[in-house]
Chain A
């Protein structure tokens, strides 16, 4: 049950687009479309942003989008805003009927 691999940090300027990758294996990310993304501010509970790879719940800005290719999923944030500065985590269902999270990515808006 190793954590999915995410970059430790990414950064971008307001208005730019960034992508955060989430790499797993055929036993998790590559094998299922149950990939989700969560945003977390310091000291707060996570908030879900994307589910089933690319579905966005109501209330989440359409600046957030998800995709997947093979064993790697990605979260893209377009039109970066200061309020997007947070930690982001991916998660996937696995063949062991368990879940696994990524190590997390700290997004800095310059």
Chain B
């Protein structure tokens, strides 16, 4: 079964940092574009960042540009999101999602999410 499992979430103080991981199983991560999407409590989905299979093609939402860094280790079949200078507005469930091979504009496999809470 093709699966994504996020980890690394938790409680962090404002101004702090956190690194999220997204482990893929059942498929080879290097073949796929990958995204991070977040959802604040009671709010809608918000796109965060994306990265191509070879690590190129990186783009970010304006709200996280300069603070978040997306990366991947295809040897470990894992996607990452390094989050720095966190604020309360970054509090959300963070999902990683896959773009199917040969396609571009949608995400077919999603993880269950990991919760990030930024609070003092």
Residues of A within 8 A of B (CB): 1, 3, 32-36, 38, 40, 44-48, 51-52, 57, 87, 89, 91-93, 96-104
Contacts and interface: CB of A to CB of B under 8 A. Distances in A.
A52 B107 CA distance: 11
Nearest to A103: B44
A33 B107 CA distance: 15
A100 B50 CA distance: 12
Interface string B40-63: 000011110010000001011111
Nearest to A34: B105
B110 A101 contact: no
Interface of B: 35, 37, 44-47, 50, 57, 59-63, 95, 97, 103-108, 110-113
A101 B46 contact: yes
Contact of A48 (B61, B106, B111): B106
A104 B44 CA distance: 6
B46 A97 contact: no
